[in-house]
Amino acid sequence: MLRILSFLLAFSASAISAQETVIVGLSQSNVAITANFSGSDILVFGAVKRTGELPVDASPLDVIIVVEGPLQQVTVRRKEKKLGIWVNTDSVDIDAAPSFFTVATTAPLDDILPEELQREHAIGLEYAVRLPEQDLDPETESFNEAIARIRVANGLYSEREGAVNFSADTLFDTDIELPANLIEGDYTTKIFLIRDQQIIGQTSVQISVRKTGIERWIYNLAHEQALLYGLLSLLVALVAGYGASEIFRRLKG
């Protein structure tokens, strides 16, 4: 009887405990790359949907937002100076390097999420470039760090601690800056709810980045009809060269 009563009490407590899920929206979900494209700012906003009552001593929530671009294969080379000349020595092929990667949080990342969960969910610059477990050695990881450093310098990778605004333990928002040097593809936006250094909820939405107009036509031509693209490029070069020579000839005359 005592065992049954304990079970009923435990079931009752779990039934009235709060369940928290995240609802997210974007100021725009489609980004058009045109001739004068100089980047785009996207507002990521959302709310925590809560059913049931939270314990009075519940720890505060934190939010992590990760935006990741299409994965690329990247070859990283190490240069060394030999006999006064810089030459390529070692190289590593990385199969899963995001073309764009940014993390925004409500607080310092290491304070709200332990290292093992950061690695498991690819949260943070240190884990942006992912490798199979058998390839995780100090030598290979140094190449991963090199990719992150280069792409941070190019404005493609970033980590912004404290950039997520969180009010009333319910509403959150942050701005994501997409640079001008984006590649086409689907950019995944992942939102994680964190409490007591555990992920208690998550969701994701897509941002579509596509070339439009003449850029789209040129891109398709180059990839689908390479011969015609090459001939047109040659024709444009010949016309431009002839035009320039005529201008100089008339100026001299």
pLDDT-above-70 percentage for the chain = 72
pLDDT band at 15 (very low <50, low <70, confident <90, very high): very low
What is the pLDDT at residue 159?
Answer: 93
Residue 211's beta-bridge partner residues? 33
Across 152-179, average pLDDT: 91
What is the pLDDT at residue 106?
Answer: 95
Tell me the C-alpha to C-alpha distance, in Å, between residue 177 and each of 41, 140, 182: 5, 30, 11
CATH number belonging to the domain at 19-211, selected among 2.60.40.3880, 1.25.40.10, 2.60.15.10, 3.30.70.80: 2.60.40.3880
What is the pLDDT at residue 36?
Answer: 79
Name residues whose C-beta falls within 8 Å of residue 8's C-beta, 6 or more positions apart in sequence. none
Q: Do the Cβ atoms of 42 and 26 come closer than 8 Å? A: yes
As given in the structure block, the two tokens for residue 30 are: 């489609």
Q: pLDDT tens, 94-145? A: 777 899 999 999 999 999 999 999 989 989 888 888 765 545 555 556 667 7
> What's the pTM value of the predicted model, to 2 decimals?
0.72
What is the pLDDT at residue 11?
Answer: 38
What is the pLDDT at residue 145?
Answer: 76
pLDDT at 23 over 60: yes
Residue 94's beta-bridge partner residues? 74
pLDDT band at 243 (very low <50, low <70, confident <90, very high): confident
pLDDT at 16 over 50: no
pLDDT at 217 over 60: no
Q: What is the mean pLDDT of the chain?
A: 79
